[in-house]
Amino acid sequence: MSDVDLQAEQYEKCREAGEILAQVRDEAAERVEVGASHLELAEWAEDRIRELGGEPAFPVNISIDEEAAHATPSRDDDATFGEEMVNLDIGVHVDGWLADTAVTVDLSGQDDLAAASEEALDAALDIAGPGVDVGEIGAAVEDVIEGYGFNPVVNLTGHGLGHWEQHTAPNIPNREVQQGAVLETGDVVAIEPFATDGGGKVQEGADEEIFALEREGNVRNRQARQVLDQITEEFRTLPFAARWLDSSRAEMALRRLQQQDIVHGYPVLKEQDGYYVSQKEHTVIITEDGCEVTTRSR
């Protein structure tokens, strides 16, 4: 198969992942209501992805109020939705080719904050294309969010998507920067503005339910070895949830793997002063005359 044919196959799988993801995102958002279970929603969405022919590219993220990223239910999570700001961040892969999307479902009455990230994404998509400096995209995002009277989250960025890689170059900032990377035809990137009524930075919290393989390694402990085998066979380098592991002693096994720097965790990221965060994200393929959004509702 020629390089051209391989590239065409890659983009078709990216499009297929995006089509599945757009449907699951919209269906999942409709299920967010006061009293609904976080765990049931996450598991429903992950199963729905498989039912439609894809695989989860990472655990469904359900971030509440000041949470911005890396929050997913634990195995025995009993949390339910209240009158809160809910961010759903969902990913799909088809044979390792990814799509990534997010939406805010606001049950808190913060309509303007949710609108700020959504409109900022629209502004970013309007200018994304070959030869565009990512700093220009960041400036467009910042301008819209500040126009609403809020701040962009400056230490979170959009990112490239690779084969079995959720985060690759280029990073796409949510504020104006000088001399960033320049987008090229064929790039696959996730653009994701975050808006907050706080100061504009997130910090790591104490909770960790999402992990990823850091490196190959050998472990003596039988349970840890079984968990490592499942990780390398099923998830490869993509993030996974502790609740996805088959072992009855998964937590202990994960601790051992972390101690040996074989696996790393993703702490939940929270707005540093406890303020609300909204998010909107699409995956795009940079084309010769602009960009193709793969995760738009059909």
Instruction: List, by residue number, the catalytic residues.
Output: 89, 100, 159, 167, 192, 281
Q: Which residues contact 132 (CB under 8 A, 6 or more apart)?
A: 182, 183
Q: Is 148 left (phi over 0), alpha (psi -120 to 50) or beta?
A: alpha
Q: Which element (helix H / strand E) includes 250?
A: helix 250-259
Taking alpha carbons only, the member of 173, 171, 176, 113 closest to residue 145 is: 113
d(CA 111, CA 104): 10
Spatial CA neighbour of 183 closest among 141, 122, 137: 137
Token pair, residue 174, equals: 């949510």
Distance CA 196, CA 194 (A): 7
Q: Answer for the pair 177, 138: CB distance below 8 angstroms, yes or no.
A: yes
**Alpha carbons 49 and 245: distance in angstroms, whole number:** 18
Number of H helices, E strands in the chain: 6, 15
> Three-state DSSP class for 49?
helix
E strands within 65-109? Answer: 67-69, 85-94, 97-106
Separation CA 144–CA 142 (nearest Å): 6
